Chains A and B, each alone.
Chain A
Amino acid sequence: MRLANIFHLGIKELRGLLRDPILLGLIVYSFTIAVYTEAKAVPETLNNAPIAIVDEDSSPLSRRIADSFLKPYFKPPAMITAGEMDARMDAGTETFALDIPPNFQSDLIAGKSPVIQLNVDATRMTQAFSGSGYVQNIVSTEVAGFAAADIDDRIPSVDLALRARFNPQLNQMWFASVMNVINNVTMLAIILTGTALIREREHGTVEHLLVMPLTPFEIMAAKVWSMGLVVFVATLLSLIFVVQALLKVPIEGSIVLFMAGAALHLLAATAMGIALATLAGSMPQFGLLLMLVLLPLQILSGATTPRESMPEAIQTIMLAAPNTHFILLAQAILYRGAGFSVVWPQFLWLTSISAGLFAFSLLGFRRSLR
């Protein structure tokens, strides 16, 4: 093994990348526009939820309730009859249907504890759960405002001072922007190294390299460092300029520590790119494999939904994926300001997974050259 060879071959890869406008465009797009727009586009918890109201009371109170569902959380409520309700919910026209019973207002004043029925289409998970909370809140507020009842001051007031740490406003964008950067790290590392190897093989230049005094290790290491470096730099720039400067997301912990983790992850991801490319043989097959590999990696690693709500078996399987550890590490460092004393287990995991993947890819690469 000669470092000079690895260096020169890597420079060649970088020159090749410079002349490939499509890949360059993809890199720039993924780390700028894609991060920005996807972070901005994260839907708020409740947006334009369609609601219908069956007003069997037709009292000032029931009208007051109906008028209190406002944009942007709700669409203007559709006033329907009790008979229409089921059909409309079956067709999925509305997610919520609020049924105000006859004599609601008078029963309330009479202290008869009337019951309002709220029907929720629970097949719409995104709106159903948080939305029903909103609806209940709105109705309670309106009823309380109407009754203006003499609040019994003997009820103890036990306040709950609820604070969210690390992201006090629970700003979705903070989370989405950084996770997008991280997903792009994996995607681009795999695509860049994979296509670099396949292009080389399709042009017959691999054979050419092998008659020179070069080892497969040198050829692979050159691709890993060069493509890894490109993604590394792009990640750093994206984090500083797009996430911190443009999206104004505060980063709690040390970027240096995070980038050290990113470097380890890149080693694993680029090795995976090589392994996929040796398996696939041609560019289209690589594209298909990519779909089957990248999606599980990104979705099941904890970047989209919390790890702990996945089945135990999946959590265990995903421990073998570098993404899982990279995301744990990134969340700890970037959001919670954790130091190395906290994230060292992730570093250990990443190191061993990277080493394993690299060795596996090298083996596959050697075999594919036969």
Chain B
Amino acid sequence: MRPEAKSTPAEPTYVARLTDVGHSYGKTQAIAGISLDLPSGRMIGLIGPDGVGKSSLLSLISGARQVQTGEVEVLGGDMRSAHHRDRTCPAIAYMPQGLGKNLYPTLSVFENADFFARLFGQGREEREYRIATLLKRTGLSGFEDRPAGKLSGGMKQKLGLCCALIHDPDLLILDEPTTGVDPLSRRQFWSLVDDIRRERPAMSVIVATAYMEEAARFDWLAVMDAGKVLATGTPREILVHTGAATLDDAFIALMPQERRATHKAIALHPPADFDAADFAIEAEGLTMRFGDFTAVDDVSFRIRRGEIFGFLGSNGCGKSTTMKMLTGLLPASGGTAKLFGKTVDPKDMEVRRRVGYMSQAFSLYTELTVRQNLDLHARLFQLPADTISARIAEMGRRFELMDVMEALPEGLPLGVRQRLSLAVALIHSPEVLILDEPTSGVDPIARDQLWAALIELSRKDRVTIFISTHFMNEAERCDRISLMHAGKVLVSDTPDAIRKTRYATTLEEAFIAYLEDAIGETAASSAPASSTADDGGKFTATRRHRAFDLRRIWSYSLRETLEIRRDPIRATLALIGSVILMFVIGYGINMDVKDLTFAVLDRDDTVASRDYVASIAGSRYFIEQPPLADYADLDRRMRDGTLKLAIEIPAGFAEHVARGHDVEIGAWIDGAMPQRAETTRGYVQGMHAHWLSQKAREIYGDAANGQFSIETRFRYNPGIESLVAMVPAVIPLLLLLIPAMLAALSVVREKELGSIVNFYVTPVTRLEFLLGKQLPYLALGMMNAVLLWLFAVLVFQVPFTGSLAAFATAALLYVAFATAFGLLVSTFMSSQIAAIFGTTLMTIIPAVQFAGMIDPVSSLQGIGAVIGRIYPTTYFNIISRGTFSKGLGFDSLIEAFLPLILAAPLLIAASAFFLKKQAR
């Protein structure tokens, strides 16, 4: 079905044509068979609330997502063809939804822009020129060194735009670029886009937005709901078609009949007659400092009982902090906050009982049903137990939740969930209701329903409502509003009064005027924007497509390195994690048994018996304790673990031995720890035999028949020390585990945080991406290898007898394998936690069990033997032991090198094969 209202026929070319496009995530259908032609060279808006399929549609057009059904034709080619995508992606720029979603928060403004410029293969001079120009135009000059994560919402989006425009795209795709951004930044953002379009009129822009006010300025619109396009055309055409005055109303008019049925236009409620002295909330010089950063600066206002008070401002301007101080969540650094005339004391739980709070994102327990959520909150607010079920029923009726009482919130539409949040916030009948952006992402109908409820609460129940919002039409409905910017309240008055003071026709204009006053020079800096735009064709967009570009590899490597350096936990793990673990394993997995405590119950007490005891006490394995008094003493001391060995020498021992009679010595060992007991048994038996042969020699000399001896040579480790044996085998384990995990995380992290989209939509190839990710971890792995080697030789004092060159070469090949292994794992994993546990399982078990660390591979059988033979750790183990303990070099280890040389390239090839260049 093609929607009725078509674009003007004067436009012959299309930037994108969609035919019967459908898209589902599992069972959820996001797009239901859309056919749509998007004219080129225009500013096109996709409008509709959250979750109607706008983002899916944009990601399909950008090539970031794989086409499931239907045809997507962009810039004259089929986006299902990998060849066409390779060719066109340098001409497309895509800025995904979410503040700074494709930016790297720990990287600075300049580093972010530089990363993108390198991805598009720009040389140093070109990069610096372009970045400087773009940052200047967006007003970000002077912030080059600030981490992207510390920028305000508006600045993040401008930086996102810089990064998108770095390669002069023909098609710019912006997914809700201004959500959560203050009105001034929003206006600046759009004037920037307008400027750039003026310079490059051929450029098409596709924008998704939930702000209908914004959409009114676009050239051409497609109105979407529930995975379908409801109408297309210019804003005027749509208004005419629906007979509505505003796009908001037009949207409601376009909705299906059954959804519209519940909608009532919000009645303009009469201005409340407030009792002038009855203040619910009073803030006086409220200030909040975090370190040297002032989040809220001298904020004062008074809110009367029953008033609806609106709070406007960009993300991070101090709204939430102010709200937290009012609820007593945060103790103010300065000033006072009063609720009903009483100073707010964070320790005073009574205040919290009078306040209801609804936070920005849906933040109820998704693992509890609607009823359980209401019940939990009722109990936590200590409602009398017998009134709880009645109260839940009342709230359920009031907010139309009765049908979904036993459902889990996750499956409910956003609008219903917001009603539930409101019901939860009101369960204890608070006198003050604090709502932090309750309507973001909610469709206009559900929004109006929520507002109807709020107005009723305020007017009927005299609940004081303190609400923050981004929507201007919602701000209009408040009794009074405050505009906040950078921790300060700029103005506080009724919407009408604010408009009149600034002689503005709309509230938005008035706000922008206030913001401009507050910021001062911003207006000046955005003005000369167009004049600096002249790059005079100095650097024309070079659409060269190289199959392999070192610059793109380097771009990813550099970015990865910067990120690791700024993440303390990962950096610790990367640098000294392996040393910590080597320390733990080296000392912990210790086969040595020594310092065993023993005591003797000597009933003979003669020279002979003392001689027997002395043969044990003289050993380095045993420590003698005070003698045992009797069996009870023996039992007690073995039970509390202070004795590992008890020996009983019977009365008359010396006499029996002298006469050649049989005699029996009793010995008990502590069997609680079998491995230790086994070794202890060996020691005792050995010493006993030694004592016997000594006695025999004393008596008969050494000419006994049938005598022979076994000379045991413990080679490579004559002291049979655990450390010497363990350390060379632990190095291969650690050089596998940590580099593999970090490499896997580096890719999966991007998948989870969303910045993987940069890989999808830029010209970087799969091999370049993988190698770029691998390089820093290869370097880190080698640093680890050096550290481990030094630690082994210097701290554990394990002698290194073989060829260092052979060890180093093998370590390099092995770390290359380990990182490649991590990358291969990452192609199958989508969450970081799965990557951590998955890599651990897939490395530790084979490396410990099958690679010859404990049992030699030659003594393995079945599947273990097969894994042992192909797992490269086996071969590095041979080389590590060979070079550490056996004094070997290249020539004797050549067979172990061959598998190591093959491993990394094979795994990288496999990873490149399995890695997807598009999302599903």
Contacts and interface: CB of A to CB of B under 8 A. Distances in A.
Interface of A: 2, 4-5, 8-9, 12, 15-16, 18-20, 43, 45, 47-50, 75, 87, 89-95, 104, 107-108, 111, 113-130, 132-133, 135-136, 139-140, 143-144, 147, 149-150, 152, 154-168, 170-172, 174-175, 203-205, 207-215, 280, 283-285, 287-289, 291-292, 295-296, 299-300, 304-306, 308-311, 314, 328, 331-332, 335-338, 342, 370
Contact of A122 (B718, B745, B855): B718
B263 interface: no
Given A16-B367, A155-B699, A287-B832, 15 more contacts: A2-B382, A15-B368, A19-B408, A119-B713, A122-B720, A123-B729, A132-B714, A158-B692, A160-B685, A167-B672, A168-B671, A210-B329, A284-B836, A332-B640, A370-B290
Contact of B707 (A12, A20, A111, A285): A111
Given A50-B859, A165-B638, A292-B577, A205 B878 contact: no
Given A121-B716, A122-B714, A309-B595, A299 B725 contact: no
A47 B352 contact: no
Interface stretch (B223-231, B494-502, B660-668): B660-668
Contact of B712 (A49, A118, A338): A118
Contacts of A119: 713, 715
B376 A12 contact: yes
Contacts of B590: 305, 309-310
A283 B833 contact: yes
B523 to A, nearest CB: 36
Most chain B CB within 10 A, of A49, A135, A296, is at A296
Contacts of A87: 892
Given A156-B660, A213-B380, A75 B858 contact: yes
B902 interface: no
A136 B380 contact: no
Contacts of B662: 156-159
A140 B594 CA distance: 27
A122 B715 contact: yes
Contacts of B180: none
Contacts, number: 363
Interface string B567-611: 001101100010011001101111111111000000000000000
Nearest to B570: A288
A107 to B, nearest CB: 8
Contacts of A289: 569
A212 B381 contact: yes
B677 A164 contact: yes
Contacts of A155: 660, 692, 696, 699-700
B679 A129 contact: yes
24 contacts: A2-B382, A75-B859, A89-B715, A92-B852, A93-B856, A111-B703, A118-B713, A122-B725, A123-B717, A126-B591, A127-B855, A162-B667, A163-B666, A167-B674, A170-B671, A211-B355, A280-B569, A284-B752, A292-B580, A306-B676, A309-B590, A309-B593, A336-B670, A342-B640
A298 to B, nearest CB: 9
Interface in B626-681: 638-641, 656-657, 660-679, 681
B726 A125 contact: yes
Contact of B678 (A45, A287, A338): A45
Contacts of A167: 671-672, 674, 677
Contacts of A19: 367, 408
Given A123-B881, A160-B684, A50 B892 contact: no
B859 A49 contact: yes
A328 B585 contact: no
Interface string B693-714: 0011001100111111111111
Contact of A9 (B380, B592, B660): B380
A287 B833 contact: yes
B892 A8 contact: no
Contacts of A122: 714-718, 720, 724-725
A288 B684 contact: no
B589 A160 contact: no
B580 A296 contact: yes
B235 interface: no
B705 A150 contact: yes
B364 A170 contact: no
Given A123-B885, A310-B590, A158 B665 contact: yes
A20 to B, nearest CB: 7
B530 interface: no
B363 interface: yes
Contacts of B729: 123
B365 interface: yes
B585 A299 contact: yes
Contacts of B711: 115-118
A248 to B, nearest CB: 15
Contacts of B541: none
Most chain B CB within 10 A, of A150, A174, A289, A292, is at A292
Nearest to B689: A160
B591 A144 contact: no
Contact of B594 (A114, A144, A309): A309
Nearest to B691: A158
Given A158-B665, A292-B577, A332-B640, A208 B852 contact: no
B728 interface: yes
Contacts of A211: 327, 329, 352, 355, 357, 434
B587 A335 contact: no
Contact of B837 (A4, A287, A292): A287
Contacts of B840: 291
Contacts of A295: 581, 584-585
Given A123-B728, A133-B682, A160-B667, A306 B833 contact: no
B886 interface: yes
B357 A208 contact: yes
A166 B671 contact: yes
Contacts of A9: 376, 380
B518 interface: no
B98 to A, nearest CB: 15
A332 B673 CA distance: 11
Interface in B861-900: 861, 878, 881-882, 885-886, 888, 892, 895
B722 interface: yes
B363 A205 contact: yes
B551 interface: no
Contact of A174 (B674, B678, B695): B674
B240 interface: no
A108 B353 contact: no
B581 A305 contact: no
Nearest to A341: B640
Contacts of B674: 167, 170-172, 174-175
A329 to B, nearest CB: 10
Given A123-B725, A309-B590, A309-B595, A212 B377 contact: yes
A153 B79 CA distance: 96
Given A87-B892, A93-B858, A164-B668, A116 B708 contact: yes
Given A47-B859, A158-B657, A144 B706 contact: yes
B664 A161 contact: yes
A15 B329 contact: no
A139 B712 CA distance: 12
Contacts of A342: 639-640
Nearest to A163: B668
Contact of B380 (A5, A48, A288): A5
B749 interface: yes
Interface string B349-368: 11011010101110111111
Contacts of A20: 367
Contacts of B366: 203
B716 A304 contact: no
Most chain B CB within 10 A, of A2, A124, A152, A203, is at A124
B333 to A, nearest CB: 11
A299 B380 CA distance: 42
Contacts of B725: 122-125, 128
